[in-house]
């Protein structure tokens, strides 16, 4: 049995072409037309999905042939096809970048590709780029193109005329600095920090409404699939999860996985709460502790509660920003030092250049490996010896160090819990 639903994978020749802008605008436009839109993000990402969730009014999940696996991707897409009027998938980097790439995901799953090309500084070359993307690798299901940052109607007509006959012109979005999404070092701002986000989305949707983007793409058949069976490995356990402006990098699928294992979830804010919820384990996810150093430094009661939690033998998982906040000192991007949680010895220092990027995996306690990624602009100096090291996706070299003190486990890794529920349970049990 299969489920049929219109779908597009929105890709580009490279990062920075406007994929997120176009996907968010499409989601808002079709939602305003009364359609249920479900958006997915290809690859690891926390920021773009937040924008898409606001645009369409429902959570944006991540799918990736390596991190989450093909079976997980097929199940999530089939589940969406059962209720949605339109499925949109935002690609990652350039169409053929990464292994596996967005092009491979589209080819394997039979999803047509809409490519977004920044046309600001070109004319006829626009068609050459579109042609190359479609024919670079045989079987790539690229069917349509959308131009971004176009200067005028005449400019748009030049771009349209440059296309080969086998690629459909879907329209264009004009240059619009007012609607552009604000950015900082890790990418777009979190959705909660863009105060006029809905107005920006509506402005972009208004621009798309004048194009063929309002027409639903052809339907795609998604084979019916069942979710992976997850044992209740955390039944009866309460997990306290940090969630606020400083700790906001949370995959919706991670929360779903914890619930499927029987855990009860209790959320708290290290920025404002002085105590932990009653819990059996704590998760400090990634985020932006470096932007909230002063507030985190003054909340000594919360850090004392976390230290007591760890001293009592209870688990604490700290990922990237969560780990950064547990060191003695955090030096922010302006060179200001902040007193952090002091559960781990050493100093975290922000830097201007990217320190690490890429997919990695690690096995805990003899369980199947957890997969995830690393992406950070800071470095750690500590006297702690690594408990273990992750393995890069290619398996050719060591990845991030993982630290462990009692039941505290900390690293720069952002883990995707459904990749190994048993491995996840070993961190929280």
Is residue 421 within 8 A of residue 371, CB to CB? The reply is no
How many percent of the chain have pLDDT more than 90?
81
Question: Residue 385 CB: number of other CB atoms within 10 A?
Answer: 8
d(Cα 296, Cα 125) in Å, to the nearest integer?
A: 51
pLDDT bracket for residue 226 (50, 70, 90): confident
Identify the residue with better confidence: 312 or 223: 312
Q: Which structure tokens are listed for 410?
A: 């900390």
Superfamily of domain 2-223: P-loop containing nucleotide triphosphate hydrolases (3.40.50.300)
255 pLDDT more than 80: yes
Question: At 260, which helix (H) or strand (E)?
Answer: helix 252-260
| Residue located via tokens 């944006």 | 60
Coil, helix or strand at residue 237: coil
179 pLDDT more than 60: no
List, in sequence order, every residue forming a beta bridge with 11; answer none if it has no partner.
Answer: 115
d(Cα 323, Cα 414) in Å, to the nearest integer?
A: 11
250 pLDDT more than 90: yes
pLDDT bracket for residue 106 (50, 70, 90): very high
Question: At 184, which helix (H) or strand (E)?
Answer: strand 183-184
Which pLDDT value is given to residue 38? 98
Report which of 388, 365, 293 is spatially closest to residue 336, judged by C-alpha positions. 293
Question: Residue 226 CB: number of other CB atoms within 10 A?
Answer: 10
Which pLDDT value is given to residue 189? 75
Q: Give one DSSP letter per residue of 18-70, joined into a string.
A: SHHHHHHHHHHHHHHTT--EEEEEESS-SHHHHHHHHHHSS--EEE-IIIIIH
Which pLDDT value is given to residue 33? 95
312 pLDDT more than 80: yes
Collect all residues with Cβ–Cβ distance below 8 Å to 101 and sequence separation of at least 6. Answer: 95
Extents of the domains making up the chain: 2-223, 238-428
pLDDT bracket for residue 183 (50, 70, 90): low
Cα-Cα-Cα-Cα torsion 138, 107, 216, 79, nearest 10 degrees, comes to 170
Which pLDDT value is given to residue 178? 59
Going by DSSP bridges, is the β-strand pair 113-118/142-150 parallel, antiparallel, or unpaired?
A: parallel
List, in sequence order, every residue forming a beta bridge with 317; answer none if it has no partner.
Answer: 283, 409
Q: What is the mean pLDDT of residues 393-420?
A: 91
Same fold, 2-223 and 238-428: yes
pLDDT bracket for residue 27 (50, 70, 90): very high
Select which of 5, 42, 257, 320 is catalytic: 320
Which pLDDT value is given to residue 182? 67
Which pLDDT value is given to residue 289? 96
Which pLDDT value is given to residue 393? 84
How many percent of the chain have pLDDT more than 70?
97
- Among the residue ranges 48-57, 222-231, 238-247, the one predicted with the least confidence is 222-231
List, in sequence order, every residue forming a beta bridge with 174; answer none if it has no partner.
Answer: 150
CATH number of 238-428: 3.40.50.880
DSSP 249: B
Question: Residue 320 catalytic?
Answer: yes
- Among the residue ranges 142-156, 206-220, 252-266, 362-376, the one predicted with the least confidence is 206-220
176 pLDDT more than 90: no
Collect all residues with Cβ–Cβ distance below 8 Å to 263 and sequence separation of at least 6. Answer: 234, 235, 237, 238, 239, 428
45-100 pLDDT, tens digit each: 998 999 999 999 999 999 999 999 999 999 999 999 999 999 999 999 999 998 88
Burial class from Cβ neighbours inside 10 Å (0-12, 13-18, 19+) for residue 256 reads: middle
pLDDT bracket for residue 375 (50, 70, 90): very high
Indicate the average pLDDT of the chain. Answer: 93
Which pLDDT value is given to residue 398? 83
pLDDT bracket for residue 400 (50, 70, 90): very high
Going by DSSP bridges, is the β-strand pair 316-319/408-411 parallel, antiparallel, or unpaired?
A: parallel
396 pLDDT more than 70: no
363 pLDDT more than 70: yes
Identify the residue with better confidence: 197 or 263: 263
């Amino acid at each position: 049995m299969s489920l049929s639903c219109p779908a597009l994978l929105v890709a580009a020749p490279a990062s920075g072409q406007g994929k997120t802008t176009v996907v968010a605008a499409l989601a808002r436009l079709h939602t305003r037309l009364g359609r249920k839109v479900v958006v997915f993000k290809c690859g690891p990402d926390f920021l773009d999905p937040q924008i898409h969730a606001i645009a369409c009014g429902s959570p944006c999940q991540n799918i990736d042939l390596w991190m989450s696996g093909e079976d997980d991707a097929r199940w999530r897409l089939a589940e969406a096809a059962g209720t949605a009027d339109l499925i949109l998938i935002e690609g990652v980097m350039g169409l053929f970048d990464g292994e596996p790439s967005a092009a491979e995901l589209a080819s394997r799953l039979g999803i047509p590709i809409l490519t977004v090309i920044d046309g600001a500084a070109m004319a006829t070359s626009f068609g050459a780029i579109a042609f190359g993307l479609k024919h670079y690798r045989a079987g790539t299901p690229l069917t349509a193109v959308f131009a971004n940052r176009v200067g005028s109607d005449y400019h748009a007509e030049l771009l349209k005329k440059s296309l080969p006959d086998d690629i459909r012109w879907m329209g264009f979005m004009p240059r619009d600095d007012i609607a552009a999404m604000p950015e900082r070092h890790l990418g777009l701002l979190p959705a909660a920090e863009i105060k006029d986000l809905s107005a920006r989305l509506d402005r972009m949707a208004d621009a798309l409404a004048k194009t063929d983007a309002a027409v639903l793409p052809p339907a795609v058949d998604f084979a019916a699939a069942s979710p992976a069976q997850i044992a209740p490995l955390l039944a009866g356990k309460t997990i306290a999860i940090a969630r606020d402006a400083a700790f906001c990098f949370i995959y919706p699928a991670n929360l779903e996985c914890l619930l499927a294992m029987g855990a009860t979830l209790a959320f708290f804010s290290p920025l404002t709460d002085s105590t932990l919820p009653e819990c059996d384990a704590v998760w400090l996810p990634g985020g932006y502790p470096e932007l909230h150093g002063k507030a985190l430094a003054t909340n000594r009661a919360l850090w004392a509660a976390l230290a007591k939690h760890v001293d009592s033998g209870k688990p604490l998982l700290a990922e990237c920003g969560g780990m950064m906040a547990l060191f003695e000192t955090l030096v922010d991007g302006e060179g200001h030092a902040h007193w952090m949680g002091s559960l781990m010895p050493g100093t975290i220092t922000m830097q201007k250049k990217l320190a690490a990027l890429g997919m990695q995996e690690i096995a805990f306690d003899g369980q199947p490996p957890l997969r995830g990624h690393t992406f950070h602009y800071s470095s750690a100096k500590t006297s702690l010896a690594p408990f273990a090291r992750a393995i890069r996706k290619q398996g050719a070299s060591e990845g991030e160090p993982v630290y462990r003190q009692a039941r505290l486990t900390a690293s720069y890794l952002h883990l995707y819990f459904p990749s190994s529920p048993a491995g996840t349970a070993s961190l929280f049990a």
